[in-house]
Amino acid sequence: MMNPDINDIPPPPEAPEDYECCQNGCDELCVFEIYRQQKMDYDAKYAHLCNQTTNPK
pLDDT at 54 (0 to 100): 73
Q: In this model, does residue 8 exceed pLDDT 80?
A: no
Q: In 3D, which of 30, 8, 13, 12 has the Cα closest to residue 21?
A: 30
Enumerate the domain spans of the chain: 18-54
CB 30 within 8 A of CB 38: no
Give 23's pLDDT tier (boundaries 50, 70, 90).
very high
Nearest-angstrom CA–CA distance, 47 and 6: 10
Distances (CA, A) of 3 to 29, 41, 47, 57: 36, 21, 15, 9
User: What's the pTM value of the predicted model, to 2 decimals?
Assistant: 0.76
